[in-house]
Amino acid sequence: MKLSRPDLFRQAAYLAGTWVPAGTDGIDVLNPSTGARLGAVPKITASQTGQAIEQAQTAFHTFKRLTGKQRSAMLRRWYELMLQHAQDLATIMTAEQGKPLSEARAEIDYAAAYLEWFAEEAKRVYGDTILAPKASQRISVTKEAVGVCAAITPWNFPSAMVTRKIGPALAAGCTVVLKPAQQTPFSALALCVLAEEAGFPAGTISVLTGESASIGGELLANPSVRKLSFTGSTPVGKTLMAAAAGTVKKLSLELGGNAPFIVFEDADLDAAVAGAMLSKFRNAGQTCVCANRFLVHRDIHDAFVAKLAHAVAGMKMGDGFDPASQLGPLIDAKAIEKVSRLVDDAREAGAIVLQGGRHHQAGKHFYAPTVLTEVTSHMEISREEIFGPVVAVQRFSNEAEAVEIANATPYGLAAYFYTRDLNRTIRVSEALDFGIVGVNEGAVSTEVAPFGGVKESGFGKEGSKYGLEEYLEKKYVCVGNVA
């Protein structure tokens, strides 16, 4: 890895202002593309996690008293440092996550945008005054930082999920103990180096590397942690939710998805194909908002599939550092097994493989971009989040049927549809039970809009003006006996 700032690459955890180096029992981090060992990070224990929480609690008392403008200035400085070192941050990300360097570079901009946004929002926390029922009373509502927050982030967006959680927490005046995914800790640690430089006091941020059982266990059990924000799978989210009940923590859960991508008979097919490519193949399909089920009207099915298959056939898969690569590897062997299992199951159940449907010669963790047709709702591939570069197409005959199929899932994160009919746009966006709806648009993620799902995709919004609210508690003050 060639970095202009080699010190951004830390084989250490960051425990309330102190860098704790990896020992001999550290956890190896591998490049998913080549299998090469990049380095190791320490296995932080439950007791060290407890220390980080205690120091976060101490730091909270002072940090929450800073003005919004002071916290805003630190976040702004962190944002600027991210942009200044964007190339290094992207390089670290590609090395540990595998996504093409250009995509990693785009993620750094996306991640930094959350810091910029919440730097601005830090100055805009408002309360209310309420007309009291008695003449002698005055009622006001203020908003206060929740307290120490735990953040558990996934490997698919190693930087953006960190800033999307830490940004609003710090803007609100909370302190944060972060546990990044075991596969991609170096991006979070590099961000932490820059946060230190931006002036965040010791204890406001800790980045703890290691195993979920010890770190997560303590984060959930410790009563000083007042909120947990988690991005990851629905089964893990349910376990965390149950564990958080013990100390009644506030929660934000951004869990799995099973996004329908509906192409109606009146759609602009070229726009639909472009949107499908964007939505499906971002991060090799390892994105919670990726299109998972393509529902295509029978009248335009063959034309849409032909165009899409042509676009997919032209995709270049390879190592993320090869400038020609548009698709990188999947994260690990487990991910490959899951995608292979889903494709094989669909094939056995009658799906037709138009493209791919096998490993890719680029390496052990590469799965060829795949297009399946004649998929049905009963197949596993329609019920599970694929998290791989597989387009699974099924036909429908009318709008009501498309909406019914789209909603027939316990998930409710993102949904997409393409149409040129204004009435249908309104009708279908209202009928879809999802937190995010893209109409004639395949790329919906942005710091200015609320990201989050409904049903078993979780709750709590990230980004936008709503994102800050998740880290604030309302306090009602009633002043009585006013003369």
Contact between 157 and ligand SIN per CB under 6 A: yes
In whole angstroms, what separates CA 413 from the centre of its chain? Answer: 12
Q: Which CB, 231 or 382, lies closer to ligand SIN?
A: 231
CA–CA dist 3, 293 (Å, integer): 40
Query: Which residues are catalytically annotated?
Result: 254, 288
String marking each residue 10-49 x if it binds ligand SIN according to CB under 6 A: ----------------------------------------
Q: Which stretch binds ligand SIN (CB under 6 A): 15-23, 61-69, 98-106, 152-160?
A: 152-160
String marking each residue 225-254 x if it binds ligand SIN according to CB under 6 A: ------x----------------------x
Structure token digits, residue 471: 């880290």
Asked if 386 and 291 touch (Cβ cutoff 8 Å), the reply is: no
Q: Which CB, 48 or 231, lies closer to ligand SIN?
A: 231
Contact between 281 and ligand SIN per CB under 6 A: no
Q: Which CB, 156 or 292, lies closer to ligand SIN?
A: 156
Q: Which CB, 57 or 287, lies closer to ligand SIN?
A: 287
Interface residue with ligand SIN, options 289, 335, 405, 415 (CB under 6 A): 289
What is the nearest approach in angstroms of ligand SIN to the Cβ of residue 288?
A: 3
Q: Which CB, 351 or 413, lies closer to ligand SIN?
A: 413
Q: Which stretch binds ligand SIN (CB under 6 A): 115-123, 175-183, 287-295, 370-378?
A: 287-295
Contact between 304 and ligand SIN per CB under 6 A: no
CA–CA dist 364, 367 (Å, integer): 8
Contact between 288 and ligand SIN per CB under 6 A: yes
CA–CA dist 26, 11 (Å, integer): 9
Number of residues that bind ligand SIN (CB under 6 A): 10
CA–CA dist 201, 400 (Å, integer): 55
What is the nearest approach in angstroms of ligand SIN to the Cβ of residue 290?
A: 8
What is the nearest approach in angstroms of ligand SIN to the Cβ of residue 377?
A: 23
What is the nearest approach in angstroms of ligand SIN to the Cβ of residue 338?
A: 16
Residue nearest to ligand SIN (CB): 445
What is the nearest approach in angstroms of ligand SIN to the Cβ of residue 344?
A: 25
Q: Which stretch binds ligand SIN (CB under 6 A): 271-279, 285-293, 335-343, 383-391?
A: 285-293
What is the nearest approach in angstroms of ligand SIN to the Cβ of residue 305?
A: 26
Q: Which CB, 272 or 290, lies closer to ligand SIN?
A: 290
Identity of the residue numbered 363: G
Contact between 445 and ligand SIN per CB under 6 A: yes
Interface residue with ligand SIN, options 287, 394, 409, 457 (CB under 6 A): 287
Q: Which stretch binds ligand SIN (CB under 6 A): 115-123, 282-290, 316-324, 402-410?
A: 282-290
Contact between 150 and ligand SIN per CB under 6 A: no
Contact between 355 and ligand SIN per CB under 6 A: no
**Helix orientation angle between 86-97 and 185-198, rounded to the nearest 10 degrees:** 160
Cβ neighbours of 289 (radius 10 Å)? 25
Interface residue with ligand SIN, options 31, 57, 91, 156 (CB under 6 A): 156
Nearest Cα to 153, choosing from 107, 194, 118? 107
Q: Which residues bind ligand SIN (CB under 6 A)?
A: 156-157, 160, 231, 254, 287-289, 445, 451
